[in-house]
Structure formats: structure tokens, C-alpha cells
Structure 1
Amino acid sequence: MTHTAKNTSRMTRVFRRMGVTALAVTLLAGAATPGVATAEVSKDRPELQQAVQAWVDAGFAGMQMRVHDQRGDWVGSAGVRKLGAAAKPPTNGRFWIGSTTKTFTATLVLQLVAEGKVGLDAPVAGYLPELGVDSRITVRMLLQHTSGLFNYTGDVYDGKYEPGIAAVGKDWVDNRFHYYRPVELVRLALAKPLTFQPGTDQNYSNTNFTLALLLVEKVTGHSYDEEMKRRILWPLGLWATKVPGTSPQLPGPHAHGYFRYQDAGEWKVVDVTHQNLSLLAGAGDMISTTEDLRTFFSALLGGKLLPAPLLAEMRKPVGKFSLGLGLWVQDLGPGCGTIVHHNGSPPGGYGAFMMSTPDGSKMLTASVTMGDAAIDPATEYRKALDGLLKTVFCGGQG
């Protein structure tokens, strides 16, 4: 089975378990040159506009997308900014980036590794002894999801699903403004048995990156937000990218995201543009734009944020999911090549994409919003994503 088939199969299982709201699991990466002006929609790129429109035709509310390749830069959108309105999603709109946050967090940790303040293969327990983390779990295991730590939003033991904090359905809707402290999330996970012995398997777990947040704070003596601003956001001029903390607001221009769920056997739709993502601290809580994501990934892949040896470690795939350190590595097959990526979404409403060839010659960043259509997101997402990948990275070829 190819990496693409494996990732698609896994994503389908996640969608079916989580319902119609999930857009998270894997894709992201990016590259370009920071500071380069982005062109408005090019009339000679109808294939890109069609790829965006395909998401709307599939039942999603809207999409904004930014592409950089050998023909230059393109940005466009399709669908609606808000249900019941005619305006398109803003191409400079902010959105919840979900698990794309993990690449930012991994970069922070690896910068500390580069400075000799953290050992990549050192036990996490040595930095955070008060938490009682298994002494076999290393920093590397957190970043490549090989720790075996229970995912605090729910996980699987021997094929049986064990619930955690509600991140789907009516329970999440009713609780979506609750504030969680990072240490609270980690302690919940640590109270559960390991899903496997550290280093022997691979399992995508938000706990790994919330624990990485605590590691950053402990080692630096500063908040995760402060370190993110000082090390990444401010040096790169990512003024639209935020660590929201306790705030449920989505500031600036943005498209609305919706959540479709069942309540007492009846389907309902709620606007979830505002939500408190402290539920995914360090693992999926950030806000950004397609331009900022492009600038961030350009700097990362271009060696501006990490020394070459650590960047190589970050992009080295391991395990059954071909995960590096906060990045996924995916072979798209003949004629398409390899991409690095990490997409994401909060529990409902939004999806984020950052995908790139390793050298940054082709790069895509985008945001898609859920609407009120009665669709199977697993099926429609897979179809639309397949078309998007072929258009941008395979020259439109199947």
C-alpha cells in the first residue's frame, strides 16, 4: 500500500469516528520566499480556481487558497464567507489552523535542541519530573508520535475506542468555550495506560504536543506564547498569526465555519467561528492566514529557522505514518514526487492545508470551511483533496 493510500485510509477512519466536522489528521508543508508580494487572482490559472471550486461543489461552504510554483503566485477563493450571504471568503482571511500548530511547536522545541537546552533523545521526565512521565519517553518520541501516550481527546486500545475530552458532537458544542490548562490535559492523558510501549509503534496523539508546550515553558521560563512570538512570529513578520490562549475570538477578516451534529436524533447546524481551543494547547490552537503559513514554511524549509542537520531530522519519515518531527512526508507517486505537509482543523468548522515539495518549488496553503450540507466529509474530502494534489503537484495528471 502506498503512503497516499495509507494516509487516506487512516483519515477515513478518523472522519467516520469523529463525524462530519473533522478535517484534521495529516497534511501540511510550505515554501516560498518570505516577503515576496503575492499576486491577485491570475486569469491564466483557471485550473487552480476550478480546484478551489471543487470543494464548494462537494458541499463545503468555502475555500481560500494560495499557490506558489514556477509560474509565480496565485491566490483565490470560492463559495461563501457566511451562510446566507453572497460574499466569497476573503483571500487574506484568518482561520483556526488546528493541528498545523504542531509544526510550529516542533520548530520551537528543535530550536531549543539546536541551542543545547534540550536533548532530542533525552527523557522528557528529566525536564518535567513533576508530571511522572514514563522515563523511556524521549523528546523525539513526542515530535514523531512514537511515545505511546494516550490522546486526551480519545484513543484506541486493541481496536476499542476509549473516549477522552469531547471534541465532537453535541458534547463539544455545549462545551466549546470551556478553558483547559495544558497541564490539566496532560495529567488526564498520563492517568491512562500507554497505548503501546514507547518507541515500538506510532499513534497520532495531541498529548505529545501539549506536553511539548510544557517542555518549552519549563526550559525557557517563559510562556509558550512569548517564545512563539520571540522566536518565530515576530522575526518573520507573521502579524496575523496568533496563539489565542483563552480567547475564543477569530480577529480580523475571516470566513465563518459551521458544525453539523445530531441532537436527540435531529440534525442541527451551529456557527462555531468562535471556539476556545485551549482544548488543543500546543497541538491545534493557533490562528493564521494562508500568506503567513506560506512565509513560515518557506523560512522553515529554507533553513532560516533550524540548522540543516535538525531540518533533515524533521523531514526524515519514520513509522507506519511516514512522520518526521512535526511533519508528514508523503510520496504522491509517479509524475508527482514527494511532498512534506501537516494539515489540521479544530474540532469543527475549519480545515487548514500547508503542502510543499521539499525544495519549496511548489507550495500550497489553504483554508476550507464547513457549511450546512448533509455530506459525508470522509468521502468528499478525499475526492476534493485528490483533485487538489493532482492539480498543484502533478500538473493536473491522474
Structure 2
Amino acid sequence: MRKRLALTALALATAVTAGFAAPATAAGPDPVRQGLETLVRSDRAPGALASVMDANGKFRTYTAGTGDRDTHAKVPRDGQVRIGSVTKTFTAVVVMQLVGEGKIRLNDRVDDHLPGLVRGKGIDGHHITVQQLLQHTSGLPDFEDDVTDDILERRYLSPRDSLDIALKHEAAFEPGTKWSYSNTNYLVAGLIVEKVTGRPLAEQIDKRIIQPLGLRHTYFPAPGETAIRERHPQGYHQDEPPVSPPRDVTEIDPSASWAAGAMVSTNSDLNRFFSALLKGGLLPDTQLEQMLTTIPVRKGEDRYSMGLGIMKVRLSKDCVAWGHNGGIPGYGTWAMATADGRAASATMTREPKTGDALTHLEGVVDAALCRR
């Protein structure tokens, strides 16, 4: 879901299949390792992990902190994590594949596929396009703050349940006039995918992305599924300001976030995904170009700009990367790739709640892709 604003001994990952452990260098400390240590030391993340892929497809993996505060187990190298809003890029790719197949048009109105469904105060699906959904210019109100307790208390919400919650709020603005991040956009996009294909969104993501790319550790949780399937660090939640110790929220029900943020993956699988996407391995050239056509998130600033389900980030003057971040109770992730095929992804095992934490998380990826 949308990005949001206990110290232990640090552990370093060892080699993974088809990769290698992060090496010590004579030149000085590894900046990626330093970044993970900052997440643990300064941002109170119990654990952190990262994976870096070079242009030849070789990996370095890193860990810091502890994977379980109760047992003091190490963070598993390249363990599975909840990726939150990074799910949006998977959903957007499926939509863009359907655009390439002529089954959806970017200028289609929501009501062309879901007649009468999207209605509320200042909200009318007749006036919202598919492109506006994917680029967060629809004006649809967000539902995130209303469903956090449902997620933490493991209450299942269907996509229609979450949409109904969102539509109780007034429109944020007239469609196409502004940019504002809203998870609701991706609920509607996911429902359009299901209407057009006649199949579940999770099946479409698996069939169209996960299986072709061989993302063996990536999946969309089944309805009511609360556990993480493979080895993973525990995820923790702590209210701000911290008045009690972090509590383990690894087993939650992410259904409320659905197409906007429910998926599970590993840092290395995310590297494979974003690298393949930028190299044209998932979309025809026309649809990839459409997906990478951006608008600024803030007027007059070019550090962040939004494409269709993917962000362009100017990490430094000469270093541009594409990707998405995500926060869900227990985990925060940044995943990005560059045009030459390099990619990096980092996760902290506590949802980032402050601007500093978000900056530090992004900084891990910056260190991997830009400080060479």
C-alpha cells in the first residue's frame, strides 16, 4: 500500500543460488550494508535485507539486524516479504498487456467496463479513464487509513468491500486536474482486469508475469491467507510515537489492499521483474513507452515523476532509476532498476513511518545503483 511516513547485532548474508554474498572491499565499507545498518540503528527496524543485481544477472545479497525478536534468529538472506504497493506495478503491467491485446484502451472510461459501480460525492465512473487510474490522476479518495485495523486484525475484505469504504469519502479533485496517490485507483484497475478477462486478478498476474519470468518466490495471497509461505523475516508494527515495543504482525490479512498492495515476493525476484520490464520482456514497445511516460509528482520538481504504475526517480544528477515503493504493516520496500538492466531492492521489517526512514530505505537502493 501507500508509502508512510530495538537494536540488535548485525548479520551479513551469505551466497544465494545464482548469486554471491556482498564482499568486503579494500576501498572501504560497502554503502549498501551501511544503509541497511542505518535502517536498524536509526529507524528502529528490527531487521533489513537487500538484493542487488548487476547487468549480467548476478546477485549480491545483504542482511542486517534480526529476523525474529523472540528467537533472535538471523534475517534469512533473500527471504520473502510483503511488498505492499510494489504490487501496483504488477497490476499495471497486466492492464498494459491487455491494452496491447486491444481488450482495454487507456482512454476507456471506468463505466465502459464497470457500469454504475464507481459513484460517490463528486465521483462518477463516466468521467474517469483507465490511464487516470494507473497514473493517480482520477481524484478517487484513498481508503488506506480506514482499513489498517482490518489488516492488522486479520479481517478479510473483498475488493468491493474496500471500494465501498473508499466511496464514502468525497472526491479529492476533478479527474485529470491534479496528481494524488490513491490505492483506490488500483482496486478499480484490478476489477477491470477481472471483468475483461473473466478470471481472477491473482491468476492473471501469475500467468502473465510470475510464470514467464520464473519468479519462484512471488505470489498473490489467496483469500484469507495470512501466513507467508516460505522462509521470511518477521514483520513488526509500532505506533508513533512509540509507547510500547514493536509487535509481530507477520501474519496479517492483506486482502483489503488487494490489487494495490497484497503481494509477497523477495528482493531478488523484484530485481528480476523490474529489470525484465524495462528491457521489454513483458510489454510491446508501444505499451512500454506509454507506461514510462511520466508526469511530475510535484510541480517544479523532477526528482519523482509518475508513469503508469511505475515511478521515475532521479537518484542523482546522472543516475535515473524506475520502480516503486511499498509499505504495509510489518514491511517497507523500495525496488528499482536502470535502463542497462541493473536492479536493486531493499526491505525493512517495520513499515516506514517517518520521512527519514523512507529516505534511508531509498538510499539503500541509491547506493546500489548509483555509487559505483
Q: Same fold (TM over 0.5)?
A: yes
In the superposition, the TM-score normalised over structure 2's length comes to 0.85
Q: 1 CA distance for matches of 2:211 and 2:359?
A: 37
What corresponds to 1:62 in structure 2? 47
Quick one: which of 93, 104, 107 aligns to 1:107?
Answer: 93
Cα distance change, pair 61–269 in 1 and its aligned pair in 2 (3 A): closer
**What pairs with 1:283-298 in structure 2 (closer than 5 Å)?**
283-298=260-275
**Pair 1:270-2:247 in alignment:** yes
Shift of residue 297, structure 1, vs aligned partner: 1.3
Cα distance change, pair 310–381 in 1 and its aligned pair in 2 (3 A): same
The answer (yes or no) to whether the contact 1:81–1:256 under 8 Å persists in 2 is: yes
**What pairs with 1:121-270 in structure 2 (closer than 5 Å)?**
121-132=107-118, 133-154=124-145, 165-167=146-148, 171=149, 176-244=153-221, 245-261=223-239, 266-270=243-247
Q: Which amino acid aligns with 2:311?
A: W
Cα distance change, pair 177–344 in 1 and its aligned pair in 2 (3 A): same
The answer (yes or no) to whether the contact 2:346–2:364 under 8 Å persists in 1 is: no
Q: Deviations over 1:353-381 (max 9, x none)?
A: 21122332x3211221129xxxx941541
The answer (yes or no) to whether the contact 2:135–2:308 under 8 Å persists in 1 is: yes
Shift of residue 339, structure 1, vs aligned partner: 1.4
Shift of residue 268, structure 1, vs aligned partner: 4.8
Quick one: which of 298, 307, 314 aligns to 1:324?
Answer: 307
Shift of residue 231, structure 1, vs aligned partner: 0.9
**Pair 1:388-2:368 in alignment:** no
SS in structure 2 opposite 1:111? helix
Q: Which amino acid aligns with 2:41?
A: D
SS in structure 1 opposite 2:306? coil
Q: 2 CA distance for matches of 1:377 and 1:228?
A: 29
In the superposition, the TM-score normalised over structure 1's length comes to 0.80
What corresponds to 2:330 in structure 1? 349
Q: 2 CA distance for matches of 1:238 and 1:295?
A: 8
Tell me, which stretches of 5 or more residues in structure 1 are unaligned? Answer: 1-9, 16-35, 155-164
Tell me, which stretches of 5 or more residues in structure 2 are unaligned? Answer: 6-16, 119-123, 299-304
Shift of residue 122, structure 1, vs aligned partner: 1.0
**Pair 1:364-2:344 in alignment:** yes
Q: Which amino acid aligns with 1:259?
A: H
Q: Deviations over 1:181-218 (max 9, x none)?
A: 10121233234321100000011000000111100100
What corresponds to 1:78 in structure 2? 64
Q: Which amino acid aligns with 1:50?
A: Q
What corresponds to 2:83 in structure 1? 97
Q: Which amino acid aligns with 1:99?
A: S
Cα distance change, pair 268–368 in 1 and its aligned pair in 2 (3 A): closer
The answer (yes or no) to whether the contact 1:262–1:268 under 8 Å persists in 2 is: no
The answer (yes or no) to whether the contact 2:271–2:336 under 8 Å persists in 1 is: no
Shift of residue 114, structure 1, vs aligned partner: 0.4
Q: Which amino acid aligns with 2:136?
A: H
Q: Which amino acid aligns with 1:182?
A: P
What corresponds to 1:48 in structure 2? 32
Q: 2 CA distance for matches of 1:344 and 1:307?
A: 26
Quick one: higher RCO (CA 8 Å, sep 6+), 1 or 2? 1
The alignment-based identity, stated in percent, is 36
Q: 2 CA distance for matches of 1:120 and 1:197?
A: 18
Cα distance change, pair 67–266 in 1 and its aligned pair in 2 (3 A): closer
Cα distance change, pair 307–252 in 1 and its aligned pair in 2 (3 A): same
The answer (yes or no) to whether the contact 2:36–2:63 under 8 Å persists in 1 is: yes
How many residues are matched? 343
Q: 1 CA distance for matches of 2:101 and 2:53?
A: 32
What corresponds to 1:31 in structure 2? none
Shift of residue 228, structure 1, vs aligned partner: 1.2
The answer (yes or no) to whether the contact 2:55–2:340 under 8 Å persists in 1 is: no
SS in structure 2 opposite 1:332? strand
**Range moving further from structure 2, 282-291 or 227-236:** 227-236
Q: Which amino acid aligns with 1:208?
A: N
Q: 2 CA distance for matches of 1:269 and 1:385?
A: 19
What corresponds to 1:6 in structure 2? none
Q: 2 CA distance for matches of 1:389 and 1:100?
A: 14
